[in-house]
Structure 1
Amino acid sequence: MLTKSIISVDDLYHNLDSENLIILDCTIAKITDKSTISEEKKQIKGAVFFDIKNVFSDKETSLPNTVLSPKEFQEKAQDLGINKDSFIVCYDDIGIYASPRVWWMFQLMGFQNIAVLDGGLPKWNSKKYPVEVPCKKQLKKGNFIVNYKPKKLKFTQDVLTAIEDQNILIVDARSKGRFLGIDEEPRKEVKSGHIPNSVSLPYSEIQENGKMKSSKALKAIFDKISKNKKELIFSCGTGITASILALGADLAGIEKVAVYDGSWTEWGSTENLPIEL
């Protein structure tokens, strides 16, 4: 059983031959990143691709990255060979960007034995640890079972109610420019601004050199903004970077947290919802 929600590249390297280890490549491109990657894709040796966009998001909704139902998630996780006793490490090519979303999905589904690779593939590559070109793997179906934790997931009505609740704080992971409505949203159909009574905590502020800040530093950051609130709800553009804040809160020892799955894309494109600039 893991003791923390992050794992160093050295610890993963020394456990590469562990029988129950499953490494998930959770890479997605940033919507705000317009550059194209021309280099040949490489992954950590033995990794399996966890396709957030095309496999682990609900295709029945117009919103991007909406989490699957517990039943669907269980089936798709089993298809990746994940078992009840698996030890999962998730990472991405950027550093720590999409991998916390996958960590959070498993938390939502009641699975604890999972960690995010601190520093992701860039840190792994800096140590010259083994990589490979991705190839299709024959995966034996796993016996993973969901133990759904619905309190970790919030919807628009929950957030609307939370605005007036003195015990709940809504925390926005987007950049300060987007939070204040100074910078345009990357999706044209989405209005600018932020949820009333929410506070800004850009996800980049809880990271340093592509890694998460120390638990002590994270605790100080969250203590400063939370001011004794009993519950934190994290929002962002589409639920990806809100999950980085959820990971940070976990490392800071904060337990009562949830992610607003639709996040600003849903809020800013829905009529008659209050918006602040």
Structure 2
Amino acid sequence: MKRLISIILTVLFGVTFLTGCSQNKQTSNLKFKEIKTEELKNNLENKDYVIVDTRINDAYNGWKLDGVKRGGHIKGATDFAANWVDVDVANKESKLLEIAKNKGITPDKNVVLYDANGKDALKVAEFLSKNGYNKIYIYDVKKWAEDESLPMVSYKNYHMLVPAVWVKDLIDGKNPETYSGGPVKIFEVSWGDESKDYNNGHIPGAVHINTDEVEEGPMWNRLSDDRLEKFALNNGITADTTVVLYGTDSMAAFRVAAILKYMGVKDVRVLNGGLSAWVREGYQLETKKNSKSPVQSFGAKVPVNKNYIIDLEEAKEILNDKQGSCLVDIRSWEEYIGKTSGYDYIKGKGRPQGAVWGHAGTDPNNLQDFRNIDNTMRNANEILSFWKEWGITPDKRLSFFCGTGWRAAEVLWYADVMGIENISLYDGGWNEWSNTKGLPIEVGEPKR
């Protein structure tokens, strides 16, 4: 009898437990309302609504991830990626709420969160909900992408910044989106012959590039064209090689990327978010050292894209063309107004007379104004908005500079991803300008 009662209680408990689980799941799903496609379409221009892409940055930029028919984001949508909630930074919650506020994602709005995997939107919804947001809607962007009449936006050259899964597919011998076949080389880029970052763990098959292979002091300009060609040959790079670059911090990778494009490599990619993007996906690292595999011919006369990187005389020409051109300073505000040079090896303070401030971060190792909290590219609308305040517009000839070319190279790459066409890197930057006698220099806040 006791055994029978025990069996009955066990069954009843199990049913109750399963029912409770089902109810909890149902409650979780019903906590946030789903918005229909037609309702979303009708409210795209409604100022009481804010449409938010919660997928990884690459999907927002243009990549077709998680089975969507069309890449990119819903026209007018801003971004707040679910993986930002997991980024390990100090005062994370307050920083995320500040980011949301700056993007117009505020509790008074009807906040529509969309994804393509059924997870990202819920993650962001839970974060916002616990912080006082109660008008939250969920949407599956695959439905929107299936209807060709509904507007989606992709950056013209989104393929220049790649997601980790794209690199993984290359390694696995697949043919991911925008890859046309041919030889592939993956490089970890950082300073020094022996890279601590590389030795601690790198993407399988990656080879280390020391930035000294492409530039030298004291100006830290790029090497001569013939020496750059030797660099390419030594690393097995030809004009037809698909080159993938990354770093623990990707600034050095962008520096090399800009130089390779200048030289004439047709397909150069940078891993968006650097090594942390690879690790976030749970992909393996290796620690064995991979050797360079030299080739005999680059396959083109260097430089193919001569105007992608300019020098002092062209920088002067841009400054003289006050209506149609901008020499854009990608340094901190303190560097721009001359409070600091930003470098222990650059004595001069100030800026080239007539240069406009293009934003950066708070120090030479930081580009926070152009990066999301996970170090991916900030969305183009936000970049163009703060540029517009300084007269930096896509219709003009834009040349970017910083101290020695690293920060500016990253911003040049982002401008290229956006599809801005008449762009270049002023390679010598402030280091060259401040060390060249007779050149006009300004300090202090400019009159605008």
Same fold (TM over 0.5): yes
Other-structure match for 2:415 = 249
Match of 1:23 among 170, 183, 186: 186
Q: Provide the C-alpha distance between the structure 1 equivalents of 2:396 and 2:198, rounded to a whole number of angstroms.
A: 46
Percent sequence identity over aligned pairs = 23
Corresponding position: 1:57 with 2:215: yes
Q: Provide the C-alpha distance between the structure 1 equivalents of 2:169 and 2:230, rounded to a whole number of angstroms.
A: 30
Would you tell me which structure has more helix in proportion to its own residues?
2
Q: Which moved more, 1:166-175 or 1:154-163?
A: 154-163
Other-structure match for 1:208 = 372
For 1:6-155, what aligned pairs fall within 5 Å after superposition?
Answer: 6-18=161-173, 20-28=183-191, 41-53=200-212, 55-58=213-216, 62-64=218-220, 66-94=221-249, 96-137=250-291, 139-141=293-295, 143-147=297-301, 148=303, 149-155=305-311
- How far did 1:121 drift? 0.8
The answer as to whether partners of 2:198 and 2:287 remain within 8 angstroms in 1 is no
- Aligned amino acid, residue 4 of structure 1: H
Q: Provide the C-alpha distance between the structure 2 equivalents of 1:38 and 1:163, rounded to a whole number of angstroms.
A: 39
- How far did 1:234 drift? 0.6
- How far did 1:248 drift? 1.3
Q: Which moved more, 1:235-244 or 1:207-216?
A: 207-216
Q: Provide the C-alpha distance between the structure 1 equivalents of 2:300 and 2:382, rounded to a whole number of angstroms.
A: 33
Other-structure match for 1:190 = 347
- How far did 1:102 drift? 1.2
Alignment root-mean-square deviation, CA: 2.5
The answer as to whether partners of 1:238 and 1:262 remain within 8 angstroms in 2 is yes
- Aligned amino acid, residue 202 of structure 2: Q
- How far did 1:188 drift? 4.3
Corresponding position: 1:232 with 2:398: yes
Q: Which runs of 5+ in 1 are unaligned?
A: 30-36
Q: How many residues were matched structurally?
A: 264
The answer as to whether partners of 2:338 and 2:351 remain within 8 angstroms in 1 is yes
Match of 1:267 among 418, 433, 448: 433
Rg comparison, structure with higher value: 2
- How far did 1:151 drift? 1.6
The answer as to whether partners of 2:187 and 2:209 remain within 8 angstroms in 1 is yes
**Please, what TM-score do these two structures have when normalized by structure 1?**
0.85
Match of 1:158 among 306, 311, 314: 314
Q: Provide the C-alpha distance between the structure 1 equivalents of 2:264 and 2:386, rounded to a whole number of angstroms.
A: 27
- How far did 1:184 drift? 4.1
The answer as to whether partners of 2:242 and 2:266 remain within 8 angstroms in 1 is no
Q: Which moved more, 1:154-163 or 1:37-46?
A: 37-46
The answer as to whether partners of 1:84 and 1:143 remain within 8 angstroms in 2 is no
- Aligned amino acid, residue 204 of structure 2: K
- Aligned amino acid, residue 158 of structure 1: E
The answer as to whether partners of 2:199 and 2:288 remain within 8 angstroms in 1 is no
The answer as to whether partners of 1:216 and 1:252 remain within 8 angstroms in 2 is no
Q: Secondary structure at the match of 2:245?
A: strand
